[in-house]
Structure 1
Amino acid sequence: MTPATIAVYLAVGPVDLRGAFDRLAAITRQVLCLDPASGALFLFLNRRRNRLKALWWDRNGYTILYKRLSKGAFALPSFTEADGKCIELSAQDFAQLLAGLPVEELASRRRLVH
């Protein structure tokens, strides 16, 4: 998986991150209306935005990446479900998000999905 070559989607609403593969795949399918087996990377944040889970399907199964910030929260603009169910991130936005860096300019570049 190379983030520059795959689509990255961030769910706008908070998600209960106690769920694992099947629950995140169901949220992707039923709430985001996207195919979890498409090869795209799907990102989910908890309500406090200090934890992130990423779901990705490769050729033979799901992979989950789980990141918990030691302090603070992921720095994103505020979104509501009125903005859409998810937004597509660039590879640069995804790298900044994982590094814990602010992704403030995202609001002007975001591509709303649904």
Structure 2
Amino acid sequence: MIGLPPTLKVFVATAPVDLRKSYDGLAQVARDALGQDPTSGHLLVFANRRRDRIKILYWDRDGYAIWMNRLERGTFRWPAPRAAALEWPPAELAAVLGGIDLKATRRRPRFALQPA
């Protein structure tokens, strides 16, 4: 698994995306489908229809960067498609990348500050 700071925001496109798209194509999907600014520094996560590939787009100070993961066997557990963007805590992204099925896990209640 990868370690991500808990302050990082992760936005997930739940609908399948054509992963032949590169930097500009994924940035446009982030604007249109997720309603997010791709230059914000947040991680923008996309998966293909078979759910065996994931691309993560992010702004790296002076340009876009893409991280990609392709599974040789199996699939990623992915949320059902929905109209709005889904925000995951970084720990959930790390869990999905590590092969953990989020539906089979349970989140314990924790204190959280209410947004102002």
TM-score by length of 2: 0.81
CA RMSD after TM alignment: 2.3
Q: CA deviation at 1:80?
A: 2.5
Return the match for 2:48 from 23, 46, 49: 46
Note the residue ranges of structure 1 that are not aligned, 5 or more in a row: 110-114
**Counterpart for residue 18 of structure 1:** 20
Read off the aligned partner of 2:81 and give its amino acid letter. T
Partners of 1:90 and 1:35 in 2: CA distance = 18
- Is 1:70 equivalent to 2:72 in the alignment? yes
User: How many positions carry a matched residue from both structures?
Assistant: 106
Q: CA deviation at 1:108?
A: 7.8
Note the residue ranges of structure 2 that are not aligned, 5 or more in a row: 109-116
**Counterpart for residue 80 of structure 1:** 81
Q: CA deviation at 1:85?
A: 2.9
Partners of 2:52 and 2:90 in 1: CA distance = 20
Who wins on radius of gyration, i.e. which is larger?
A: 2
Residues 63 and 94 (structure 1 numbering): CA distance in 2 closer, same or farther, change over 3 Å?
Answer: same
**Counterpart for residue 4 of structure 1:** 6
TM-score by length of 1: 0.82
Percent identity for Structure 1 against Structure 2: 41
The structure with more helix, counted as a fraction of residues: 1
